[in-house]
């Protein structure tokens, strides 16, 4: 007879590394890649200017107000990906990086990332913006890990739908914890954990780390950061 085995939960690996998480839009970027991508598609004639420009601004204003319906926004944001071939989308994205994104990556943002790289921190960008838009930006910044809203694909083509939990508000915490778990890690595996963000929408994740940092914060986050004596910095 086989002896019954007892499963012992694995002990999380404890490291001397820091965990460093970055929001992307209006944090490492001095602008919003979501908004800029829609404006770029309008400039290419891929979206109707009169209708889409107003919707793009409406969603952006709702995000800043904290009233964004993330699922309605993703329907708007991801639908254009399903209308074009991946080859065309990739070519457009190369142009988008040159014309819209590299000009809004400042020297201070690159220096901050480099400082944490030298410290050998485990770094990730955590963003609600979809993975197609943000993947090349993450690589441009030299950050190995990206936790973004996933743009679903089938047979190499985008479906126009998200996959899994959007990386937005509480969803950022859920997605980060799932990522850490996939690495055999957890919050307490690190000497410290940092999250840099500009937005009050990111308060759930900011309150989860040991070292939250407000970066060029909106008014709501600035008030919260001041009240709780969090560092406030500028990368502009």
Q: Does the annotation count 48 as an active-site position?
A: no
Contact 152, 48 (CB under 8 A): no
Q: From CA 48, how far away is CA 45, in angstroms rounded?
A: 7
Residues with Cβ within 8 Å of residue 136, at least 6 apart in sequence: 93, 97
Task: Provide the β-strand partners of residue 170.
Answer: none
* Alpha helix (H) residue ranges in the chain: 33-43, 49-65, 70-78, 86-96, 107-118, 131-141, 170-182, 203-206, 219-227
pLDDT of residue 15: 64
pLDDT of residue 60: 87
Contact 123, 176 (CB under 8 A): no
pLDDT of residue 49: 85
Sheet order of strands, 157-163 included: 157-163, 145-154, 122-130, 18-22, 192-197, 211-215, 232-233
pLDDT of residue 75: 87
Q: Cα 8 from chain centroid?
A: 35
Q: What is the pTM of this model?
A: 0.90
Q: Which domains does the chain have, with CATH numbers?
A: 18-233 (3.40.50.1000)
CA distances from 161 to 69, 78, 115, 133, 206 (A): 15, 6, 36, 14, 28
**Burial class (CB within 10 angstroms; exposed 0-12, middle 13-18, buried 19+) of 113:** buried
Contact 216, 22 (CB under 8 A): no
Structure tokens at 225: 């950061």
pLDDT beneath 70, residues of the chain:
1-15
pLDDT of residue 182: 97
pLDDT of residue 14: 55
Start-to-end CA distance of the chain, whole Å, equals 69
Active-site residue (options: 25, 34, 198, 218) = 25
pLDDT of residue 176: 98
The full DSSP string for 3-67 is: PPPPP-PPPPPP-SPEEEEE-IIIIIBSS-HHHHHHHHHHHTTSS-HHHHHHHHHHHHHHHHHT-
Q: Does the annotation count 202 as an active-site position?
A: no
Q: From CA 74, how far away is CA 69, in angstroms rounded?
A: 9
Active-site residue (options: 16, 23, 32, 219) = 23
Half-sphere exposure of 114 (CA within 13 A, CB side): 7
């Amino acid at each position: 007879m086989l002896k019954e085995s007892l499963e012992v939960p694995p002990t999380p690996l404890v490291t001397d590394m820091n965990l460093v998480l970055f929001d992307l839009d209006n944090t490492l970027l001095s602008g919003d890649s979501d908004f800029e991508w829609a404006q770029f598609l309008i400039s290419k004639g891929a979206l109707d200017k009169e209708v889409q420009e107003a919707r793009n601004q409406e969603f952006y204003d709702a995000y800043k107000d904290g009233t964004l319906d993330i699922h309605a926004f993703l329907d708007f944001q991801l639908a254009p990906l399903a209308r074009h071939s991946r080859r065309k989308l990739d070519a457009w994205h190369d142009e988008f990086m040159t014309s819209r994104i590299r000009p809004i990556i400042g020297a201070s943002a690159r220096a901050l990332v480099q400082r944490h790289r030298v410290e050998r921190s485990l770094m990730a960008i955590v963003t609600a913006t979809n993975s197609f838009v943000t993947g090349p930006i993450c690589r441009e910044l030299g950050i190995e890990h990206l936790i973004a809203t996933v743009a679903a694909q089938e047979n190499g083509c985008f479906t126009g739908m998200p996959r899994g939990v959007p990386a937005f508000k509480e969803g950022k915490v859920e997605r980060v914890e799932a990522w850490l778990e996939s690495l055999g890690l957890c919050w307490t595996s690190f000497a410290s954990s940092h999250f840099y963000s500009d937005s009050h929408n990111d308060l759930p994740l900011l309150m989860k780390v040991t070292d939250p940092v407000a970066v060029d914060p909106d008014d709501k986050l600035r008030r919260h950061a001041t009240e709780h004596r969090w560092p406030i910095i500028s990368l502009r």
